[in-house]
Amino acid sequence: PERRMVVSEGWNLIGGLYKPSCLMDPDQILSGGTGFGFDGSYVAMDLQNDVMMPGRGYWVYAMESGVIGVRTLHSPENAVRSY
């Protein structure tokens, strides 16, 4: 399943879904494709390849207001990294 999220220009705190998930940014409004997860300290993450884990929050920077998508993954073990 896919969920759409409205983001505002600037920093946004978002979360994943009930399963490991990834971001979709078809309009490329997220700055540089980089966000931050927290794993004892802030960790830069590649928003196009890294997996968002359930129950965790992530900071993303939007260059303009718009809509992004979050999609659950069927095989998170194929992802580069998960936070």
C-alpha to C-alpha distance for 62 and 81, rounded to whole angstroms: 22
* Among the listed residues 18, 22, 75, the one whose alpha carbon sits nearest the alpha carbon of residue 60: 22
C-alpha to C-alpha distance for 58 and 83, rounded to whole angstroms: 9
pTM: 0.80
Give the pLDDT band (50/70/90) at residue 41. confident
The CA-based dihedral angle spanning residues 62, 63, 67, 68, taken in that order and rounded to the nearest 10 degrees: -50
* Average pLDDT of the chain, as a whole number: 85
Give the pLDDT band (50/70/90) at residue 67. very high
